[in-house]
Amino acid sequence: MKFLNKYIRKYWIAFTIAIVFLMLEATVDLLLPTIMAKIIDIGVANRDMDYVLRLGGIMLLITCFGAVSATIRNFISSYVSQGFGAELRSDLFRKIQSLSFQNIDKFNRASLITRLTNDVTQLQMFSNGLMRIFVRAPLLCIGSLIMAVRLNLHLSIVLAVVVPIIAILIILNMRLGFPRFMRVQKAMDRINSVMREYLSGVRVVKAFNQFNFEINKFHKANIELQSTATSSERVMSIFGPMMVAVMNVGIVAVLWFGGYGVESGHIQVGEIIAFTNYMIQILFSLRMISMVFVMFVRAKASTERIGEIFLEEDLMKIYEADTEAVPASKGRIDFNDVSFSYGGAQSEPVLKNITFSCMPGDTVGIIGSTGSGKSSLINLIPRFYDVSEGSVEVDGIDVRRYNLKKLREKIAIVPQMTMLFTGTIAENIKWGKENASLEEIKQAAAIAEAQSFIEAALEGYSTRVGQGGVNLSGGQKQRISIARALVKQPEILILDDSTSAVDMATEAKIKESLRKYSAELTCLIITQRISSIIDADKIIVLDNGKLVGAGTHKELINSCRVYQEIYHSQMGIGVM
């Protein structure tokens, strides 16, 4: 995968140094059986203690050298693998952040989390293993084969039979393992998805006492992961014992033929011991190689999944040529014959031929039944999605011609789903403006009618907010979200049903404060409550993705049937 080239270029020198020390370590392991054979066949056989002690001392020095090499290699391999894993995780997170909603919608959210955590860990473990056992195993295997052949050519016939059989087993292991481990990763995605959904909606689960339903749903995903993983491990586990059995048969054959050789005087006892040690090293190496392929199969599956993210091309094209143009007015919004669908040209549009304008300083209400396209409409202004047809202009410039950062600096949004972050209330409000002073934070909180309950808290603005704002009421969370948007001092403020949990008296105070806050601020209020926008400068009425009315309350109550139905149903008056 091309995305790995960056890390290869950065870490190849350290990786190579680790491999050099690993080769030194492997060389030590290869020398020891041959030295031991000489001690037995020459020193012990001739009762020459000086020879035994001299070669024993050499063995000790070589062993110490190997231990030092292994220690250095461990340090380097840890540095490389941990650095690689941390950078890959950061780069992957940045890539996900850079993608538009259209791209992110193609992936399951739980799958993205799994790729950031489990899949990156698999690659990190594989890179670490390459510098610890994965390269050492084939080096030791090939070296042991060479040393064994040099030691006794006749006994090497056993290796000529055993090694090809094991090689075939390893190839089968890899071919059968890869597709199974891909299924394991997908099963892990599903279990993460179930857990994420449960934790997000834990209050609803408790409120409706749906523990058994959630337990059964998790149990189903868990059993699927278990059966998929068990099936994969079962296939992989067959090959390990088979390789051990083949190698043990080979060792028995060496001892059998070696015994005849010693009896006939063609082979020495030390040679058989050394040859057996090399056979054991080959057995260990081949077992390690089989583990290498298991890890490789998992790492390959993870690499493909991570690569899918890096290969994802942002569907939202950025044009910056006209962004330096000075806008004629600040806060103007124009929808010019806009149509939009989430699935491209193949799917049914959720917005159809929308045309209207918002002037600087206007308060514009957008109303319609559930599913009429209100949230989809306002998502086009900060360019969360691109229009399918037509254009959306901010300050007379098509939003597609803006630098996204500059465009979104003009706009503040209070979303329909209130989201607060772990930290203090002040830190949450400062999300709107990182360098906001305490005075600015207090001013924004006052306009959002949040100051009273914040200052009533024991720690005031330093009060900790639990994950997702669990220790605050729905209305309190909405008011903090409004303060977060206001501290940004935007040119355009979008309130997406953001006062639904606030009582009407508090909502009226917020609206009055907003009028005094800035006469130049263009405010879009998306709501289903007609009382929230009855005094707006303009009201946009949507029905099934179409604009069916635009004007003031007085104009619409006389001319728009959909608006009349909404008004009469909410005010408790029969439709006339």
Tell me which residue of 522, 552, 526 sits closest to 372, measured CA to CA: 526
Chain segment 416-446, per-residue pLDDT in tens:
788 888 889 999 899 888 888 889 999 889 9
Average pLDDT (80-100) is 89
Strand partners, 366: 526, 540
Name the CATH code of domain 2-311 (choices 1.20.1050.10, 1.10.940.10, 3.40.50.970, 1.20.1560.10): 1.20.1560.10
Chain segment 455-499, per-residue pLDDT in tens:
888 888 898 887 777 788 888 888 899 999 989 888 899 998 887
- The answer to whether 406 and 397 are in contact (CB under 8 A) is no
Strand partners, 207: none
Backbone dihedral region for residue 101 (phi beyond 0: left; psi -120 to 50: alpha; all else: beta)? alpha
CA 78 – CA 324 distance, rounded (Å): 48
Average pLDDT (69-75) is 89
135 pLDDT higher than 80: no
Chain segment 382-397, per-residue pLDDT in tens:
998 889 899 999 998 9
- Per DSSP, the residues of 166-203 read HHHHHHHHHHHHHHHHHHHHHHHHHHHHHHHHHHHTHH
56 pLDDT higher than 80: yes
Tell me which residue of 278, 288, 32, 281 sits closest to 155, measured CA to CA: 278
Name the CATH code of domain 333-571 (choices 3.40.50.450, 2.60.120.680, 3.40.50.300, 3.20.20.60): 3.40.50.300
pTM above 0.85, yes or no: no
For the chain, report the end-to-end CA distance as a whole number of angstroms. Answer: 67
Across the chain, mean pLDDT equals: 83
Chain segment 311-357, per-residue pLDDT in tens:
887 767 666 554 555 555 688 999 999 999 887 666 788 999 999 99
In the chain, where the domains are located: 2-311, 333-571
| Assigned token pair, 319 | 């044009």
| Assigned token pair, 205 | 């689960």
Average pLDDT (160-171) is 80
Asked, colleague to colleague, whether 2-311 and 333-571 share their fold, the answer is: no
Residue with tokens 């924004």: 444
